[in-house]
C-alpha cells in the first residue's frame, strides 16, 4: 500500500488561506465589522436573559392561555433555544442595513448575517430529530458546510480533502471519499430505520398476526432494509460491490472459527419465532428462572422476574433445554395449596371454608371452580389440598398463596377449627431406678 499525499497542494491551500485572512480580515474596516458582530452578540446575550424569564412564565401557564398550556412542551423546545440567535441575527442585520445606507463596508456583516440565518434555519429544522446526539451531529455538520460555502472556502476545502488519499492497488481512497461514504451511510441507515419502524407499526396493527410473527417479520424487515441501505451507500460512493466477496469469505471463516455461538443464537431466535414455542408475554420457567418474556431479541430472550430482575437468556438455551411454558396454549394455571387440620375439627366445614376463602379472590377463576381434597391421614393432622385456577400467572404465585393461607387462617380461627401441631407420646417400659446422692 502506497500512501500518496499531495504536499505541494497542501502548502498552496495554506498559503491561499493566509492570503485570504490578510486581505479580508486583518484590515481596519473588517475589524470594525467583526467588533460590531461581537458587540451584537454581547447585547443579544444580555437582553435575552430577561426575555427568557418572561417566556418561561408564559410557557409555564401563569400568563398564557389554554392554547399555550396545551402546546407548552413543544413551544419550550422550539422557542427557548432560538431566542438568543434570533436576537443576534436581528441586531447584525440592522447593523448591515445601516452600513449599506451609509455606504460603509458591510462584507463581514453580510457573512455574519448569512451564518446566523443558516444557524436559525438549521436549528429550527432539527427540532424534528428526537435523538439529541444525532441532532447535534447533524447541526454541526450542516452548519460547517454552510459556513464554508458562505465564506467561499467550500471548494478549496473539498480539493484539499480529496488530496489526502491512499492507493490500495487500483483503488484510490481519499479523505473526501470516506466523508462522503459516512454521510451516505448515515443518511441511508436513517431512512432504513424510519421505514422499518413504519412497517413494524403496521404489522402490530394486524390482528391476525401472532406476537411471534410480528416480531419475526419486524426483525427480518429491519435486517433487509439495513442491508440494502449499506449496499446502496457503498455503491453510491463508487466502491465496487464485487470487493465484498473478500469480506464474505472472511466472515465465513470467522463464523467457522469463533462465531458459532453467535450464529447458533441467531438461528435459534428465528426458530423460536417461527415455531411460536415462546412469545412475548408468556410465563416460563427455565434454569430456576421464573418470569414472563418481555421481548425476543436476535441473540437472547429477555425474561423479567417478579423481583424486577431482567434475565437475558441466550436463544440457544430455550431450544436445547427443557422450558416450562405456563401460557403456551392456555393461560390457565392450577395452583396447589397443601395444609392440614386437627382430627378434632369438623372436616366438612374445614373443606367448605377453604373453598369459600378461594372464592373471595378476584384472581381465582370460577370456571373451573376451586376444590379442596382430602389427601390422607397424617401423623398429627388430616392432610388437605386446595386447588384453584388462575390465568394471570405473570402477576405472581407466591403472593396469591400467602393471601390464601392468611384468609384460611382467619376463617378457621373464626369458626373454631384448629390447626394441628406435632404431638409425641413417650411410653416408659420397666421400672425406673432413681438413686439419690447421700
Bridge partner list, 339: 384
User: What average pLDDT is seen over the chain?
Assistant: 77
Split at pLDDT 50, 70, 90, the class of 181 is confident
Mean pLDDT of the 167-190 span: 75
Encode pLDDT of 419-431 as tens digits: 887 666 676 676 6
Q: Residue 303: which H helix or E strand, with range?
A: strand 300-305
Find where cell 450464529 sits: 263
Residues 77 and 129 reside in one and the same domain: yes
User: For residue 119, which of 39, 190, 29, 37 has the smallest C-alpha distance?
Assistant: 37
**CATH number of the CATH domain containing 363:** 3.30.70.100
What's the rounded Cα separation, in Å, for the pair 180 and 186? 10
Find where cell 373471595 sits: 360
Residues 9 and 118 reside in one and the same domain: yes
Boundaries of domain holding 227: 172-239
User: For residue 302, which of 325, 333, 330, 279 has the smallest C-alpha distance?
Assistant: 279
Question: Within a domain: residue 436?
Answer: no
For the ranges 145-159, 235-249, 278-292, 415-429, the lowest mean pLDDT is seen at: 235-249
Mean pLDDT of the 347-354 span: 92
Find where cell 470487493 sits: 243
% of the chain at pLDDT higher than 70? 74
On the question of pLDDT at 68 being above 60, the answer is no
Q: Indicate the SS3 state at residue 370.
A: coil
Mean pLDDT of the 270-288 span: 79
What's the rounded Cα separation, in Å, for the pair 195 and 148? 33
Q: For residue 403, what pLDDT is reported?
A: 92
% of the chain at pLDDT higher than 90? 11
Residues 15 and 72 reside in one and the same domain: yes
What's the rounded Cα separation, in Å, for the pair 29 and 42? 20
Q: Among 129, 152, 169, identify where a domain stops.
A: 169
Q: Among 169, 185, 209, identify where a domain stops.
A: 169
Q: Among 325, 348, 371, identify where a domain stops.
A: 325
What's the rounded Cα separation, in Å, for the pair 362 and 355? 13
What's the rounded Cα separation, in Å, for the pair 304 and 19? 66
Q: For residue 338, what pLDDT is reported?
A: 93
Residues 76 and 96 reside in one and the same domain: yes
Residues 60 and 147 reside in one and the same domain: yes
Contact 193, 258 (CB under 8 A): no
Q: For residue 2, what pLDDT is reported?
A: 46
Bridge partner list, 300: 314
Q: For residue 370, what pLDDT is reported?
A: 93
Q: Residue 343: which H helix or E strand, with range?
A: none
For the ranges 25-39, 73-87, 235-249, 304-318, the lowest mean pLDDT is seen at: 235-249
What's the rounded Cα separation, in Å, for the pair 431 and 424? 21
Question: Within a domain: residue 437?
Answer: no
**CATH number of the CATH domain containing 293:** 2.30.30.60
Encode pLDDT of 378-432 as tens digits: 888 899 999 999 888 878 888 899 999 999 999 999 988 888 876 666 766 766 5
Residues 34 and 163 reside in one and the same domain: yes
Question: Within a domain: residue 181?
Answer: yes
How many structural domains comprise the chain?
4
C-alpha cell at 331: 393461560
Q: Which residues touch 391 (CB under 8 Å, ≥6 apart)? A: 331, 332, 333, 365
Question: Within a domain: residue 377?
Answer: yes
Mean pLDDT of the 22-47 span: 78
Question: Within a domain: residue 272?
Answer: yes
Question: Within a domain: residue 17?
Answer: yes
Residues 25 and 148 reside in one and the same domain: yes
Question: Within a domain: residue 257?
Answer: no
Residues 228 and 89 reside in one and the same domain: no
- What single string gives the DSSP state of each residue in 100-147? HHTT---HHHHHHHHHHHHHHHHHHHGGG---HHHHHHHHHHHHHHHH
125 vs 54, residue with greater confidence:
125
* DSSP assigned state of 241: G
Residues 12 and 32 reside in one and the same domain: yes
Q: For residue 237, what pLDDT is reported?
A: 62
Q: Which residues touch 398 (CB under 8 Å, ≥6 apart)? A: 306
Residues 144 and 17 reside in one and the same domain: yes
279 vs 55, residue with greater confidence:
279
134 vs 42, residue with greater confidence:
42
What's the rounded Cα separation, in Å, for the pair 85 and 121? 10
CA distances from 415 to 30, 92, 341, 381, 409 (A): 100, 89, 13, 18, 10
Question: Within a domain: residue 65?
Answer: yes
Q: For residue 67, what pLDDT is reported?
A: 47
Residues 34 and 151 reside in one and the same domain: yes
Q: Indicate the SS3 state at residue 340.
A: strand
Residues 81 and 130 reside in one and the same domain: yes
On the question of pLDDT at 185 being above 70, the answer is yes
Mean pLDDT of the 153-160 span: 76
Q: Indicate the SS3 state at residue 158.
A: helix
For the ranges 71-80, 108-117, 123-132, 209-218, the lowest mean pLDDT is seen at: 71-80
On the question of pLDDT at 201 being above 80, the answer is yes
Sign of the Cα torsion 397, 400, 406, 408 reads negative
Q: For residue 1, what pLDDT is reported?
A: 44
- What single string gives the DSSP state of each residue in 247-274? HHHHHHHHHHHT-HHHHHHHHHHHHHHH
User: Using alpha carbons only, what angle is made at residue 154 by residues 152 and 157, rounded to the nearest 5 degrees?
Assistant: 120
Amino acid at each position: 500500500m502506497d500512501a500518496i499525499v499531495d504536499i505541494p497542494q497542501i502548502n498552496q491551500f495554506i498559503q491561499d488561506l493566509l492570503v485570504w485572512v490578510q486581505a479580508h480580515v486583518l484590515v481596519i474596516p473588517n475589524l470594525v465589522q467583526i467588533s460590531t458582530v461581537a458587540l451584537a452578540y454581547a447585547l443579544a446575550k444580555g437582553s435575552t436573559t430577561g426575555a427568557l424569564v418572561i417566556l418561561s412564565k408564559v410557557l409555564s401557564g401563569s400568563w398564557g392561555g389554554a392554547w399555550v398550556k396545551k402546546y407548552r412542551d413543544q413551544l419550550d423546545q422550539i422557542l427557548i433555544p432560538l431566542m438568543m440567535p434570533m436576537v443576534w441575527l436581528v441586531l447584525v442585520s440592522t447593523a448591515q442595513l445601516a452600513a449599506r445606507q451609509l455606504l460603509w463596508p458591510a462584507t463581514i456583516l453580510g457573512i455574519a448575517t448569512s451564518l446566523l440565518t443558516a444557524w436559525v434555519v438549521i436549528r429550527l429544522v432539527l427540532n424534528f430529530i428526537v435523538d439529541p446526539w444525532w441532532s447535534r451531529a447533524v447541526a454541526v455538520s450542516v452548519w460547517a458546510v454552510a459556513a464554508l460555502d458562505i465564506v467561499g472556502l467550500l471548494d478549496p476545502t473539498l480539493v484539499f480533502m480529496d488530496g489526502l488519499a491512499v492507493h490500495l492497488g487500483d483503488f484510490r481512497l481519499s479523505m473526501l471519499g470516506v466523508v462522503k461514504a459516512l454521510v451516505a451511510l448515515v443518511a441511508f441507515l436513517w431512512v432504513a430505520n424510519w421505514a422499518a419502524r413504519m412497517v413494524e407499526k403496521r404489522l402490530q396493527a394486524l390482528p391476525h398476526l401472532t406476537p411471534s410473527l410480528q416480531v419475526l417479520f419486524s426483525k427480518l424487515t429491519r435486517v433487509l432494509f439495513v442491508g440494502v441501505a449499506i449496499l446502496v451507500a457503498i455503491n453510491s460512493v463508487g466502491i465496487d460491490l464485487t470487493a465484498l466477496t473478500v469480506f464474505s469469505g472472511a466472515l465465513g471463516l470467522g463464523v467457522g472459527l469463533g462465531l458459532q455461538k453467535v450464529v447458533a443464537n441467531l438461528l435459534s431466535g428465528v426458530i423460536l419465532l417461527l415455531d411460536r414455542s415462546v412469545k412475548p408475554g408468556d410465563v416460563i420457567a427455565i434454569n430456576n428462572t421464573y418470569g414472563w418474556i418481555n421481548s425476543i431479541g436476535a441473540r437472547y430472550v429477555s425474561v423479567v422476574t417478579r423481583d424486577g430482575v431482567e434475565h437475558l437468556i441466550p436463544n440457544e438455551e430455550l431450544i436445547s433445554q427443557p422450558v416450562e411454558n405456563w401460557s403456551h396454549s392456555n393461560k390457565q394455571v392450577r395452583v396447589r395449596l397443601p395444609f392440614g387440620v386437627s382430627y378434632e375439627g369438623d372436616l366438612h366445614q374445614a373443606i367448605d371454608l377453604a373453598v369459600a376463602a378461594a372464592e373471595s379472590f378476584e384472581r381465582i377463576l370460577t370456571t373451573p371452580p376451586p376444590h379442596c381434597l382430602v389427601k390422607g391421614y397424617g401423623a398429627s393432622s388430616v392432610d388437605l389440598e386446595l386447588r384453584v385456577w388462575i390465568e394471570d400467572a405473570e402477576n405472581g404465585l407466591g403472593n396469591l398463596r400467602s393471601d390464601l393461607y392468611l384468609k384460611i387462617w382467619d376463617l378457621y380461627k373464626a369458626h373454631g377449627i384448629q390447626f394441628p401441631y406435632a404431638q409425641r407420646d413417650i411410653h416408659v417400659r420397666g421400672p425406673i431406678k432413681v438413686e439419690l446422692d447421700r
